[in-house]
Structure 1
Amino acid sequence: MQDIERVDRCRVCGRDDWLDIISFGSAPLANGLLDPAADDADEQAYPLDVALCRECGLMSLRHIVNPEKLFRYFVWVSSDSALMTRHRQRVFGWCAEKSGMAAGDLVVEMGSNVGTQLALFQERGLRTVGVDPARNLARIANDRGVETVADFFGPEVTASIRETHGAAKLVMGHQCFAHIDDVHNVLDGVDRVLAPDGTLVIEVPYVLDLLDENQFDTIYHEHLSYYSLTTLSRLFASHGLPVVDVERADVHGGSIVVFAAREGSGRRPSARVADLLALEERRGLTTARPYLEFADRTRRTIDAIGDVVRGLAAEGKRIAGYGAPSKGSTLLQMCGLTPAEVQFCSDTTSFKQGKLLPGSRIPIRSPEQARAQAPDYYLLLAWNYAEEIIAKEQAFLDAGGRFIVPIPQPRIVDSALTASA
């Protein structure tokens, strides 16, 4: 595969009937961190255009960056925040309730990262195998005792897992399915390893939350697809895996956790499935309107964030970014912000520290360095953890510092946790 390819046919339904939604031009990879000595001319940029499949309602990027380039070395590591720790416990509970799994059963996870979710299953007596293409993350997972195959999930890998470990009671993928182009190959891989009475569990950011909350910064090259339950139901059913349950989750800006089982399993869909499909029908998610309205709001929100930050910088205020997530890198690029406005970003991930964010070239510093040079304002790039972060940083607020929370609309939070436009 070349470094970049254009999407002609929808990866879900195979049709070539697209409605253009919004173009963000060309942008560097959101996780393409730079060494300070890197030459600007060496930084590659790729098209970032969004379209809607008129046939099945999939919102998708129109170009694919070679996954070898994106995922063989990956800088995002599963968060140990209180929010995500609670969520992983909740996912385990849902899986136990809906799959009937018991100690000794096999759980296989695609995109398993450093094995944080699988470790929780291990603690409860289940056997686990992870599959993740990032060699650096697979090494960490194996070192912590979570068996992980450093490869892309598909039929060959899962056939080997089944031969070695047996059939899986549960196959899961958390926040990775939206990264995958050949979803049919992945579901063929599920078919190779899933037991006759097994359950497929896929968690994805929910397109309805993205639209409602103006989450434009979650659109970057890793995120190829933006799913509704309607579209996922069609996709899974085409592989003999009807959806039997769904849960909404308050992570990553709003997600859905979708449960599917083999045809003939006798499992009837829960009322939650019909309720969410009906909501999507009422909201017109298979029509153009909500997507075009999102595009209009996005353009206005990008302008508003830039105006707030540049206005404060012009007043002599010192501004830094809180967190250096992929979405933060994207937001800074889309809003045209540079070190002239945002002096640095603070991030707890050690191998991000000392690097520059792509496109904006804003330096990343450790939290200790940030506290030593406390800004007047933090632009909260990790806004999906806003409640947790603001509570943690009460001393910063009490000292007169403020947060700019950019999504869904920029607002300023002071020590009294009051917001103003």
Structure 2
Amino acid sequence: MTKITFLNLGNQPLANNYLSKKNINKKEKKYQLNVCVDKKTNLVSIKKTFSSKTMFNNKYPYRSSMSKTMTKSFKTLAQYIKKKYKPNIVLEIGSNDGAFIKNFKKNKTIGIEPCSNIEKLTKKLNYNTFSDYWSKKLAKKILKKFGKVDLIYSANTISHIKNLNEVFNAINVVLNDEGILIIEDPSLLECIKRNTYDQFYNEHIYVFSTIALENILKLHNLQIFKIEKLNIHGGSNRYFIKKSFSKRKINNSVIFNKKKENDYGLKKIITYRKFASRVKLSKIKLNKILSKIKKDNQKIIGYGATAKSTTILNYCNIGNTKIEYFLDTTKDKQNKYTPGTKIPILKYNNLIDDNIKYVFLGAWNFKNEIFKKEKVFIKRGGKFITHTPFPRII
């Protein structure tokens, strides 16, 4: 076996399986969340995976447009793409509620979104969207209907698909010879540096490094020619990819990124084992902070009942005796309970309760956006609790 397990995040529920009052006492589907690294490719992945249909269906709760950070990022990228590459047709894998494709003319976009409850939002606006999983079969269907496409974009989606060979084979079917593939996903280097072990959950099958992604792409005659570092989702990489025979020059950012990853030790198993040790310490420290606040008879609530927070809450055994409730802006999560830990999720209300002094950041990856929004809470002495890069009160 070339895969080595280095991290055990315990018994976990499906990260987006929010519980209703009706099913709160029903037995939840749980699994052992183990994380491993492939010695051959350096690809980091979770060990136990679930079918796409189990995770991405007509009840999927995530909406890209709910975040100002994401909508701004999509708009800026779309403007850059139009100016720099002037694509005739843009295809997005994982188009969600259309936050990215809405920046282009309707006749110039194709969206792929398997979650029908979300795909219908863009369908209603007359965008060319398919409620289907990305595959070679779908790529051929698109090729027949629209011809080759000039640019394919995918944000935080490729890492959710188990069969990477199928993903890149399908991309090769429909992408022009001089076309560009842009992938955006959390950076493994940043994940390890910042101790964000919550990047691992059932939907995040992979967390990519440049080294690993390059090894996979090579098998499909694809090549990274530029990398942009993003602050989104706690540190992400935006990879610009071409077909190997394309004459596009390789930017220095690719060499720089690989050097950084090599220097940090992403090819050494000891790096992953040290990370696992830090994660164990993080669990102890976070629980100490929460216990001390509760001892002082202070309430703690959560902000953003995210898929990421599911990993933290279940790994650290944090339930409703420590966190009273979560606030969330997503309608599909409101009046439900967090998976596994059964903490109530309420409609977001501007942190108006004066009795609340401590807020656990479930959506820590949107910290800057949240801090701007919650100036009044901060001004009256409100404090946030985070686990990254180490558990502390901000």
With the length of structure 1 as denominator, give the TM-score of the two structures. 0.90
2:111 partner letter: G
State how 1:110-125 maps to structure 2 within 5 Å. 110-122=93-105
Residue 40 of structure 1 aligns to a residue whose secondary structure is: coil
Q: Does 1:144 align with 2:125?
A: yes
State how 1:10-409 maps to structure 2 within 5 Å. 16-73=1-58, 74-96=60-82, 100-102=85-87, 105-122=88-105, 127-368=108-349, 371-372=352-353, 375-409=356-390
| Contact kept in structure 2, 1:171 and 1:201, CA below 8 Å | yes
The separation in 1 between residues aligned to 2:179 and 2:195, in whole angstroms, is 36
Please report how far the alpha carbon of residue 89 of structure 1 lies from its aligned counterpart in structure 2 after TM superposition.
2.7
2:326 partner letter: C
The separation in 1 between residues aligned to 2:51 and 2:71, in whole angstroms, is 32
CA offsets per residue over residues 162-216 of structure 1, 9 Å max, x none? 1111210001111011111001111111111101111111111000000000001
Please report how far the alpha carbon of residue 94 of structure 1 lies from its aligned counterpart in structure 2 after TM superposition.
4.6
Which runs of 4 or more aligned residues in structure 1 lie more than 6 Å from their structure 2 counterparts after TM superposition?
A: none
| Contact kept in structure 1, 2:156 and 2:186, CA below 8 Å | yes
Please report how far the alpha carbon of residue 411 of structure 1 lies from its aligned counterpart in structure 2 after TM superposition.
2.0
Please report how far the alpha carbon of residue 273 of structure 1 lies from its aligned counterpart in structure 2 after TM superposition.
0.8
Residue 45 of structure 2 aligns to a residue whose secondary structure is: strand
CA offsets per residue over residues 10-50 of structure 1, 9 Å max, x none? xxxxxx31211111222111100001232434211012101
CA RMSD of aligned residues (A): 1.7
1:202 partner letter: I
Residue 69 of structure 1 aligns to a residue whose secondary structure is: helix
| Contact kept in structure 2, 1:108 and 1:130, CA below 8 Å | yes
Please report how far the alpha carbon of residue 90 of structure 1 lies from its aligned counterpart in structure 2 after TM superposition.
3.2
With the length of structure 2 as denominator, give the TM-score of the two structures. 0.96
| Contact kept in structure 2, 1:26 and 1:47, CA below 8 Å | yes
The separation in 1 between residues aligned to 2:146 and 2:27, in whole angstroms, is 45
2:81 partner letter: C
| Contact kept in structure 2, 1:107 and 1:126, CA below 8 Å | no
The separation in 2 between residues aligned to 1:256 and 1:381, in whole angstroms, is 22
The separation in 2 between residues aligned to 1:81 and 1:61, in whole angstroms, is 27
Number of residue pairs matched?
393
- Greater relative contact order, per chain length (Cα 8 Å cut-off, separation 6+): 2
% identical aligned pairs: 28
Unaligned runs of 5+ in 2: none
What is residue 419 of structure 1 aligned with on the other side? none
Q: 1:164 to 1:205 in 2, by over 3 A?
A: same
| Contact kept in structure 2, 1:132 and 1:138, CA below 8 Å | yes
2:41 partner letter: C
